[in-house]
Structure 1
Amino acid sequence: MIKHYKLSKYQVMIFVLLIVFWSSVNLIRAYRKSYALNPVELGGLNLGLYAASNIAAAYGLISIFMRFLVFLGSDWFKSRKLMIFIGLVLISGTSYWAYLNPNYETLLISSYALGIGASLLSLFNVLFAETFSPKQAMMSVSILSVAPLLAEFIMSPVQYHFT
């Protein structure tokens, strides 16, 4: 595929990073609600349906409002890579905090950070698309559409094993 579509090393690197980023988002997002909802004897926090639903919904809610702000921030900082780095730090830091001190607040904050990080995924798309000529726009979109599906495929055995 790399030779057939004449992809550069930079394009391949962005694609691989996008898959890794999506994989981490899929894996973390999948377990938030069940971790909050499951009884303590099954390894959960037994926070109840209302709390678990809030934790699960926080991801999507913050993503809706942050998309536009992410692009404003990347233009203001003049660095999409810096914004992606900030997103990775937010996801890593809050997920680790939720791991060390699992409760409603830390899981909710971690879900917000995950939603912000997911909003930053759109910056990967822009970075990737900028490396193609206008004539190759359809190829860029086609390749990018595979990344979340591939991440889901890669993470499925991990999710199956740990549930």
Structure 2
Amino acid sequence: MFRRGWIKDHHGSGGTLTWSRGSEQCGSIGYTYMLLDDHDPTLTLNFTRTPNGREPETIKQVIQLAATKPEYGGRRWWMICPANGMRVATLHLPPGGDRFASRKAWRLGYHSQRIAGRDRPFEALFKLQKKLGCSEVAPVVCTGSRLG
């Protein structure tokens, strides 16, 4: 949020983030932040979720923030995971989740951790094809008969 200019150090303000699927808006989240001093810096998230056909519920979640001073100068802001107290750069709200928390708190794996060993060469191929702007096409593998 800092990199995109949505949050500024030594300020307090807020806004709304929205996202779309195709051309249709499918979600939004309101946020406010208070970074005026080093005492109790917070990011407050306001959002609505509708759990499995039940009535929508409005959620207000306060996230504590912490700053570190990198060797190259300035300040680096982190979020404190509300579930386990870890200092993290990203919080997640997985499908079916009710609050934002760290990847570790939600026990979320990385994509690379879910790939079987035999599929790793194909993943590398798909990554290269995407980088080159090609469509992802798996090579055809023929087995059984020999020519020649």
TM over 0.5: no
Bigger fraction of residues in helix: 1
**TM-score bracket for the superposition, by shorter chain length:** under 0.3
State the structure with bigger RCO (CA 8 A, min sep 6), 1 or 2: 1
Specify the structure having the higher radius of gyration (Cα). Answer: 2
Higher strand share: 2
